[in-house]
Amino acid sequence: MFSVVCRPLNSLTVSGALRKATVAMAEALAKVPDVEIDPEGTFKYILVRVKVKDGDVHKDIVRGTKSAEYHNHIFEKVNPAMEALGMECKCLGGGKMEHNSQEKKLRVFGESTAFGKADHAASVEKLKTVFSDYEITWSDDKK
């Protein structure tokens, strides 16, 4: 005859470890800059949702550069960098930006053929957190 002795898992230990892991990932996500764009000129940009792998914690980030011929070139740089941090990415759309640092103006417009139009209003809100002293506008115009 066999006897099985069952002990309940200490739920405080399990939930405590899970909470620490979640907090660590949220802290890693918080270290990802909200905005990284070129300091001057007109260029393509994308709005990206960065999410903790196998988790619900996420945030949206804006990336833009003149060096990208196509929107997917930006994503091809962002995605591996985020994966290295244990994150996963999804491009929410793209467009263009006109950045005039002398006049402290940013204009968001246009769309990405590959990813569709980003939510420019959401992108502008992100930009305002970094460029609080700028005049930032957006439109659905393509030019």
Tell me the C-alpha distance between 54 and 83, whole Å: 12
Q: Is 51 annotated as a binding residue?
A: no
3-state secondary structure 99-139: EECCCCEEEEECCECCCEECCHHHHHHHHHHHCCCCEEEEC
* Active-site annotation holds for 71: yes
Compute CA distances 28 → 7, 82, 140, whole Å: 35, 10, 34
**Are the C-beta atoms of residues 89 and 82 closer than 8 Å to each other?**
yes
Token output for 106: 């940013």
- Bridge partners of 46, per DSSP, are 63, 94
Task: Catalogue the active-site residues.
Answer: 71
* Residues making up the binding site: 44
* Residues making up the binding site for substrate: 44
